[in-house]
Amino acid sequence: MSNPARIWSFIATDSPPSEFVRSLQKHTVGGCGRLAVLLWSRNVRDPNALPGFLDWRQYRPTGPFEFADEMQRAVRRLTQAIEGSERVAIWGDFDADGVTATSVLWDGLGQFFDREASLKEPRDRQLTYVIPNRFTDSHGLNRRGLQALADDKISLVVTCDTGSTNLEELAFAQELGIDVIVTDHHTLPEVRPPVVSIVNPRYFPEDHPLYSLSGVAVAYKLVEALYEALPEIPQQPLEHLLDLVAIGLIADLVELRGDCRYLAQRGIEQLQKQLVNSTRPGLAQLLQLCKRTGDRPTDISFGIGPRINAVSRIHGDASFCVELLTSRDEVRCKQLAGDAELANARRKELQNRVTNQVKAKLAACDLSTTCVIVLSDPQWEVGVLGLVAGQIAQEYGRPTILLCEEVTGERPMARGSARSIDRIDLYRLVKSQAHLLDRFGGHPFAAGLSLPVENLHLFAEAIDRELAQQLGGTIELASEISIDLTVTVSELGKDLFKELKCLEPCGMGNPPPRLLVRDCWFENVWNKNIKDRTGRKVRYIRTGFELWDKTVEKGFPGVWWEHYQDELPNGRCDAIVELDFNTYDKRYEVRLIDVRLVIDRPTVEIAKPSTFQIFDWRQISEIPHPHPPLLQSCPSSWGQLQRWFRQVRKDAIEMQGFALAYSEPEVVAPEALWQQLVGIAKYLSRTGKVVTKQQFYDKLNLSDRTLEIGFSALRSIGFTVDFSRDKIRVFQSEESNRTIDRYVTSFFFEAIREEQFRRHYFSTVSTSILRSSIAY
């Protein structure tokens, strides 16, 4: 089956008030009408915040000791290690965020610890680092590596971009006598691990300026705190680390707001200096190889970031990337940058090959009955599965899990990656089948996992059924593209580019503007395979074209990555593009995102509210008046939430949101609920009374699905449950007092536990996830 069309939604917004536009004009040069519309639609509406948003010099950053006791404990322990000449190890990760975080600590802590001992005597170094192998170790701490550090007389480990949930490994480190400082930004454990300190922005509320920090930014905050505590020791300025911070922030796709935006802005300014006055020859070499100048966030997301990530995807071991980013040896850096470039070319080839194989498998699937795509193959390269899964999820509009089957140890295992789409919390979805897995971890939009091959079929069926139940039994999935502005081809170019560039750095929460060009067509279309640095062709397609409409007499250049020229339709089209500047060819061009023929244009196009808010009043005892629509009953599924929203959609959009006004339901033991259900059934049978479904739901606080399972259990022990429209009658036969088989009630008990788990999730889930999950 071919991949479904993606939904195009227009971001609807009121015109910004004239006072806002006048305030914006004070801080920009040239036209700002469209910029004002975009800022207003993205809820950047405070005139006092505009200077800091547009220029980092006007922003007031948050200090590192905002992390309070956790940061103070970390600084005290590092100071003790410095004074005692202890041996310290940095434990990082193999992706771009983890590698740059390791590099920040290597350079930053290197100002306080001796790391320059002879390579012949590495044990003489005070500071060392560990990067796990993607293929053999996976993410996080591991016992084997910790034991090796203990044998090497390491007394303190500082993690970066990892460690928060490695509870067993952290306990093992404690047994070995190793103190651990965790710096991380991933999900916090329910119980604080046995560590010296855990510096993690997830402790902050979602609107805190530090909440969105990535692993490299948290590591930077630790170094910043040490610079403030011991200012007389460092010889290098702290800001020399900011180019590394920007790379990790942008490559990790975190929300660039608050201090994240500030650090990224400063880091990009530092990065573009590398081609003129290089302090990091490795970065200069990477910029030259990817034909970028370092002044744009896309130079990271499409240039440096993929090359760093490619090393572990192809080789497994990314340790040399830290040397590439921190060494001052130009000859060595040129060699390492070349290795990264070749790895990236190989990554593109593998990604293209696996993508084609996945699509071939999907062609034989009936996606009309599929909620979650789960595929495996022993020949797939595990290093590129996350990239392919993300691409497939967006194209086919379904969460996608791709796995490589391999024999490791006693039994075959399947290992791979999962990627989600809007409105689907992938982490919770995978966690619901944790009993079938060996290991898993991640966040709502991405996860890594492994499981025995023998469980694969059961896992695929169970996770598909789980999402179908969350969606209320309907399969209405599709990826969505939000459109910011409608333009003509004649408007594309320097002036529009300069205006839109004020939004940069773009990323999660502030994506690159998507532009709709109507009634256009393509000419001078061509495609070719790209080449690696040795001149060898790589099977990775780029299609070039000229974009035309009736407003121009000359076409505007563009490119469509990973598509062939015959995929561009003939005739009049609507196209969604992003405007870019090609520093290599010194020209403005568009990057094609999606295209459809005008005749396929839907009669009704979706307008998506831009300022829709979800107010979190779950802990408020008195609801303010007036108020938006209130969700007062804790939902137990996304489908239930969506059905409620459809009922109040008009009022919610008029008031620009709704409020969560429920508390977490009391957890009642499944056995007690079963006894209560049986007691109600006996009472109704004895009295002959008739009740409604709603009365049952209100009494037991169970969903329709769980209650149906309970009714089935009643029938199995001799009760008759009769439905007549919304009325329920219960009759008791003479056999209904027979001994209850535990197998009969186990399904009901499991359904109750699952519903209670879901209600707990919805009682704590962040409003940002809910907002992205509502289909407007």
> DSSP for 375-414?
EE-TTS-GGGHHHHHHHHHHHHTS-EEEEEEEEETTEEEE
pLDDT of residue 498: 93
pLDDT of residue 735: 54
pLDDT digits (tens, 9 = 90+) for 664-712: 778 888 888 888 888 888 888 888 888 887 787 778 888 777 888 888 8
How far does Cα 215 stand from its chain's mean position?
13
**CB proximity list for 82: less than 8 A, separation 6 or greater:** 112, 113, 230, 233
Beta bridge partners of 239: none
Distance, in Å, from the CA atom of 3 to the CA atom of 718, rounded to the nearest integer, reads 49
pLDDT digits (tens, 9 = 90+) for 37-88: 899 888 888 999 999 999 999 999 999 999 999 999 999 999 999 999 999 9
Q: With pLDDT > 70 as the criterion, what percentage of the chain qualifies?
A: 88
Question: What average pLDDT score do residues 414-423 get?
Answer: 86
User: Of 229, 225, 230, 272, whose CA–CA distance to 247 is shortest?
Assistant: 272
Least confident of 22-26, 304-308, 600-604: 600-604
Q: Indicate if the pLDDT at residue 116 is higher than 60.
A: yes
Q: Indicate if the pLDDT at residue 479 is higher than 60.
A: yes
The pTM assigned to this predicted structure is 0.77
Distance, in Å, from the CA atom of 534 to the CA atom of 31, rounded to the nearest integer, reads 45
pLDDT of residue 131: 96
Most confident of 3-17, 157-171, 664-678: 157-171
Q: Indicate if the pLDDT at residue 635 is higher than 60.
A: yes
pLDDT digits (tens, 9 = 90+) for 188-219: 888 889 999 999 999 998 889 999 999 999 99
Least confident of 128-142, 433-447, 452-466: 433-447
Q: With pLDDT > 90 as the criterion, what percentage of the chain qualifies?
A: 48
pLDDT of residue 561: 86
pLDDT of residue 603: 52
Average pLDDT taken over every residue of the chain = 86
pLDDT of residue 535: 61
pLDDT digits (tens, 9 = 90+) for 342-355: 999 999 889 989 99
Beta bridge partners of 373: 400
Please measure the distance between the N-terminal and C-terminal CA atoms of the chain and give it in whole angstroms: 27
pLDDT digits (tens, 9 = 90+) for 645-658: 767 766 666 666 77
pLDDT of residue 148: 95
Q: Indicate if the pLDDT at residue 147 is higher than 70.
A: yes
pLDDT digits (tens, 9 = 90+) for 221-258: 999 999 999 999 999 999 999 999 999 999 987 889 99
- Which residue did the predictor score with more confidence, 353 or 742? 353
Sign of CA dihedral 474, 773, 162, 326: positive
Question: What average pLDDT score do residues 421-438 get?
Answer: 84
Q: Indicate if the pLDDT at residue 130 is higher than 90.
A: yes
The structure tokens listed for 356 are: 């084609």
pLDDT of residue 119: 42
For residue 201, say if its preceding peptide bond is cis, omega within 30 degrees of 0: no
- Which residue did the predictor score with more confidence, 593 or 744? 593
Question: What average pLDDT score do residues 377-391 get?
Answer: 92
Output the 3-class SS for 457-524. Answer: HHHHHHHHHHHHHHCCCCCCCCCEEEECEEECHHHCCHHHHHHHHCCCCCEECECCCCEEEEEEEEEE
Distance, in Å, from the CA atom of 289 to the CA atom of 284, rounded to the nearest integer, reads 9
pLDDT of residue 769: 64
Q: Indicate if the pLDDT at residue 473 is higher than 60.
A: no
Least confident of 194-203, 223-232, 423-432, 600-609: 600-609
Under the banding of pLDDT at 50, 70 and 90, the label for residue 606 is low
Most confident of 24-28, 517-521, 749-753: 517-521
Beta strands in 532-597 (DSSP E): 537-548, 556-561, 573-582, 587-597
Q: Indicate if the pLDDT at residue 120 is higher than 70.
A: no
DSSP string, 135-197: TTT-SS--HHHHHHHHHTT--EEEEES--TT-HHHHHHHHHTT-EEEEE--SPPPSS--S-SE
For residue 505, say if its preceding peptide bond is cis, omega within 30 degrees of 0: yes
Q: Indicate if the pLDDT at residue 118 is higher than 50.
A: no
The structure tokens listed for 488 are: 């003509």
DSSP string, 156-168: EEEEES--TT-HH
Least confident of 173-177, 221-225, 411-415, 633-637: 633-637
- Which residue did the predictor score with more confidence, 721 or 337? 337
- Which residue did the predictor score with more confidence, 629 or 327? 327
User: Of 568, 557, 615, 613, whose CA–CA distance to 594 is shortest?
Assistant: 568
Cα dist from 59 to 62, 64, 262, whole Å: 10, 16, 7
**CB proximity list for 660: less than 8 A, separation 6 or greater:** 614, 615, 616, 617, 618, 631, 767, 770
User: Of 355, 340, 323, whose CA–CA distance to 532 is shortest?
Assistant: 340
- DSSP state letter for 624: -
